[in-house]
Copies of this chain bind each other. A is one copy, B any other.
Amino acid sequence: MKAHVYVTLKTSVLDPQGQTIHNALRKIGFSDVAAVRQGKYFALSLADGLDQQTARTQVERIAKEVLTNPVIEEFTYRIDE
């Protein structure tokens, strides 16, 4: 079973890295991009035979306690069936 965790900066937090990418894209002609935000992505392979409910609880705890800095970041996750 595979879990995907996406960690992004809260919208209230400035994202200079995303801003830099945005500026670079405009400079080379991609003018249809209005904004860029950068985040992190984690792919977790989970032990076989783990039930869906336990997987959800575990991944949520991992995302919350280890992968995300709750002061400036938030997360979403998805578990492949």
Please list the residues of chain A having a beta carbon within 8 angstroms of any beta carbon in chain B: 6-8, 18, 21, 24-25, 28, 30-47, 50, 54-55, 58, 61-62, 66-67
* Given contact pairs A36-B43, A47-B33, A24 touches B54 in the complex (Cβ within 8 A): no
Compute how far the CA of A39 lies from the CA of B41 in the bound complex, rounded to whole angstroms.
5
- In the bound complex, residues from chain B placing their C-beta under 8 Å from that of A31 are 47
- Give the nearest-CB partner of A58 in chain B: B32
* Given contact pairs A24-B66, A30-B58, A66-B24, A38 touches B35 in the complex (Cβ within 8 A): no
Is there contact, CB below 8 Å, between B41 and A41?
yes
* Given contact pairs A25-B62, A62-B25, A66-B25, A42 touches B32 in the complex (Cβ within 8 A): no
